[in-house]
């Protein structure tokens, strides 16, 4: 079961300044109805000139919030060599960038000395944290939210430490 985009859309639309996302997994479960991964495995790649074929409604939402001045940043910590899923994700990340997200990649070996929360998270305006809880196979289980100041500070420090070391998407090559 995936988190409802409509609920998340309402949340991210309420942001005034920033939304940051830290991803730490090498694999996320792909729903059975998602044909994109199978097509990618068979050689299909998104066409940079065919924006209509890109992932909707997420990219529309990113464009909407960044157009009002919200900074949306995503950092991904990945093992190297990368998993097949990360190769897939990297192949279409240009669409997120085109929509207005800033994205960086950090090889996991460069994160060994960083204090990081145990789960992926979104941090909204530096004060509301949404942890995304996944099972061992990468399937979304549920979401925990907190506005506890100490947790928000921990997540802010963790994200900024990763961001500082991470490689901008345009410069991160997968071999």
When pLDDT is averaged across residues 134-145 and rounded to a whole number, the result is 94
Residues sharing a CB contact under 8 Å with residue 58, sequence separation 6 or more, in sequence order:
5, 99
- By percentage, how much of the chain surpasses pLDDT 90? 77
Instruction: Report the alpha-carbon distance of residue 71 to residue 65 in Å, rounded.
Output: 8
CA 33 to chain centre: 21
- Closest by Cα among 76, 82, 87 to 43: 87
- Assigned token pair, 140: 């979304």
Could you check whether the bond before residue 81 is cis, i.e. omega within 30 degrees of 0? yes
- Closest by Cα among 101, 80, 71, 82 to 169: 101
pLDDT given at position 80: 98
**Which CATH code is given to the segment(s) 5-35+54-116+128-171?**
3.30.870
The answer to which of 19-23, 59-63, 72-76, 102-106 has the lowest mean pLDDT is 59-63
Question: How is the chain split among helix, strand and coil, in percent rounded to 5?
Answer: 40, 25, 40
- Assigned token pair, 116: 């990081």
Decide if pLDDT at 10 tops 70. Answer: yes
Angle CA 146–18–59, to nearest 5 = 105
When pLDDT is averaged across residues 139-147 and rounded to a whole number, the result is 95
pLDDT given at position 47: 79
pLDDT given at position 2: 43
Instruction: Report the alpha-carbon distance of residue 76 to residue 37 in Å, rounded.
Output: 19
Task: Give the tens place of pLDDT for each residue, 32-69.
Answer: 767 888 888 888 887 777 777 766 788 999 999 999 99
Decide if pLDDT at 5 tops 60. Answer: no
When pLDDT is averaged across residues 12-36 and rounded to a whole number, the result is 91
For the whole prediction, is pTM greater than 0.75? yes
Decide if pLDDT at 175 tops 90. Answer: no
- Assigned token pair, 83: 């998993």
């Amino acid at each position: 079961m995936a988190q409802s985009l409509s609920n998340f859309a309402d949340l991210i639309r309420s942001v005034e300044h920033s939304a940051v996302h830290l991803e730490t997994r090498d694999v996320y479960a792909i729903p059975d109805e998602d044909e994109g991964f199978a097509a990618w495995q068979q050689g299909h790649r998104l066409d940079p000139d065919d924006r209509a074929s890109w992932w909707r409604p997420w990219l529309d939402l990113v464009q909407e919030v960044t157009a009002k001045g919200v900074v949306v940043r995503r950092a991904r910590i990945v093992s190297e060599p990368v998993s097949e899923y990360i190769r897939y994700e990297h192949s279409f990340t240009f669409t997120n960038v085109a929509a207005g997200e800033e994205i960086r990649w950090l090889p996991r070996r460069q994160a060994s000395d960083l204090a990081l929360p145990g789960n992926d998270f979104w941090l909204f305006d530096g004060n509301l944290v949404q942890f995304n809880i996944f099972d061992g196979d990468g399937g979304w289980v549920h979401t925990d939210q907190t506005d506890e100041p100490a947790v928000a500070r921990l997540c802010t420090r963790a994200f900024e430490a990763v961001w500082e070391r991470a490689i901008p998407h345009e410069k991160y090559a997968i071999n």
